[in-house]
Amino acid sequence: MTEIYANVTAWLSNLQPVFFVALPYVALFTFFLVTVLRYRTQTFTYSSLSSQLLENKNHFWTMVPFHYGILFVLLGHIVAFLIPRGILAWNAHPIRLYVLEITALAAGLLTIVGMIGIIVRRMSNSKVRLVTSRIDTLLYFLLLTQLVSGVAVAIFHPWGSSWFATSMTPYLWSLVKFQPDTSWIIGLPWLVKWHIINAFLLILIFPFTRLVHILVVPNPYLWRKTQVVRWYGRE
């Protein structure tokens, strides 16, 4: 048994350049190319494809926890990516570290609860099931995998807010600078690596799914005029 595990790990380790160098670039390239192409040629398909009209009873208890949870969690990842020193400074005080970790874990759990709710709602309501495509199913599988692995990382490999800033952030920046350096993450546990690989898979399928609605989030609404009038030939 241990032999098999060792073999698999060795095999996976050999594939690490594929997972952590090739996959990220393929995913990001596809993401940028397809989102732009899809926006330019298939604008009509950019929609959140809401199913609230078809099922309005469980909609609240699934959509709201999922979205607010994932917004918080994603924001945490982005902050740690952009200002790692800030996170480390915050975490210098144990109390603040605990507060951050517990809040993040709670948000992660909230997101999982919402996601499971979303999947159950999709499967149990015949009308909503009908507007669920195959790519939706794949998306929900990957999302749930991502959330479960993420929460598992938070539980089994705690203080992620700190080690993310010292290992993940340099690795991600090395990708951004086109000087991929996997040495930052090569020593991380496989649970974490699974989370990273799955994240790149999500980025890869992003432009083919309903996730594109994130890109058209309506921020100009807050500062536009109340009424919209369009003239033929005037702007």
Residue with tokens 């990001």: 28
* Residue 87: closest CA among 193, 191, 75, 14: 75
Shortest Å, Cβ 217 to other proteins:
8
Joined together, the tokens standing for residue 61 give 């208890």
Residue among 9 and 48 whose Cβ is closer to other proteins: 48
Instruction: For residue 234, report the phi and psi dihedrals to the nearest 5 degrees.
Output: -115, 150
Q: Among residues 66 and 200, whose Cβ is nearest to other proteins?
A: 66
The residue ranges that bind other proteins (CB under 8 A) are 41-57, 59-60, 63-64, 66-68, 126-127, 130-131, 133, 135-136, 208-210, 212-213, 216, 218, 220-222, 224, 226-234
Using the minimum distance from each CB to other proteins, give the nearer residue, 178 or 223. Answer: 223
* Minimum distance, C-beta of residue 176 to other proteins, in the bound complex (Å): 29
Q: Which is nearer to other proteins, 6 or 131 (CB)?
A: 131
Task: Select 51 or 146, whichever has its Cβ closest to other proteins.
Answer: 51
Q: Are 66 and 114 in contact (CB under 8 A)?
A: yes
Min dist. Cβ of residue 83 to other proteins (A): 25
- With contact defined as beta carbons under 8 Å apart, do 51 and 131 qualify? yes
d(CA 164, CA 85): 11
Q: What is the CA radius of gyration of the chain?
A: 20
Judged by beta carbon, residue 72 or residue 173, the one nearer other proteins is 72
CB of residue 144 vs other proteins: minimum separation in angstroms?
18
Residue type (1 letter), 23: L
Report in angstroms how near the CB of residue 123 gets to other proteins at its nearest: 14
Q: In a 10 Å sphere around its CB, with 0-12 CB exposed, 13-18 middle and 19+ buried, how is residue 222 labelled? A: exposed
Nearest C-alpha neighbor of 169 from the set 88, 76, 101, 84: 84
Q: How far is the CB of 81 from other proteins (least distance, A)?
A: 24
The CA distance from 46 to 139, in Å, is 16
